[in-house]
Amino acid sequence: MDPARTSEFAHIGKSVIIKGELSGSEDLYVDGSVEGTIELQGNNLTIGPNGQVRADVNAKSVIVQGKLEGNIHASERAELRKSAHTIGDIVTQRVAIEDGAYFKGKVDIQRESKPSASSALKQVGSENKSTTSAAASATAVATAAPSHSNTSVTKS
């Protein structure tokens, strides 16, 4: 790891319990328990394998290895590793769900961040159609992923 980046990284250990609003301007690794909200606008959140989070999350990138109950808003990417147990909706530009991860919720794929409210209003009609189809196809992929572990496939 780059020595300059280590000073911009916060770690919440296994024995730490936080209740309330958590915000910051550095990357965060949670291996403890957090309940409330996590606001890391422009920074990354990683929930470690021992992490237990009951919070709505807003960050640039979110990686879940432990348990997360709450909605994820990741401006760039959301990733659910095979040990993840996630309940809540995901809004992001890119999503990755490993085989074996548990996920219950909706996925809403955003094409790009919207520069202003007025230009966003002009694009609402066309974006809703493409976002809905992208979300439906991402949800289908996410729910179909665990079935790949079956050795036989039956067509109906």
Cα 17 to chain center, whole Å? Answer: 21
Q: Considering the entire predicted model, what is its pTM?
A: 0.69
Alpha helices in the chain (DSSP H): 3-6, 117-144
Residues 6 or more apart whose Cβ sits within 8 Å of residue 100: 82, 83, 146, 149
Instruction: Say whether 27 sits in a helix, a strand or coil.
Output: strand
Q: From CA 10, how far away is CA 5, in angstroms rounded?
A: 11
In tens, the pLDDT along 17-76 reads: 999 999 999 999 999 999 999 999 999 999 999 999 999 999 999 999 999 999 999 999
Q: What percent of the chain has pLDDT over 70?
A: 67
Beta bridge pairs of residue 53: 34, 68
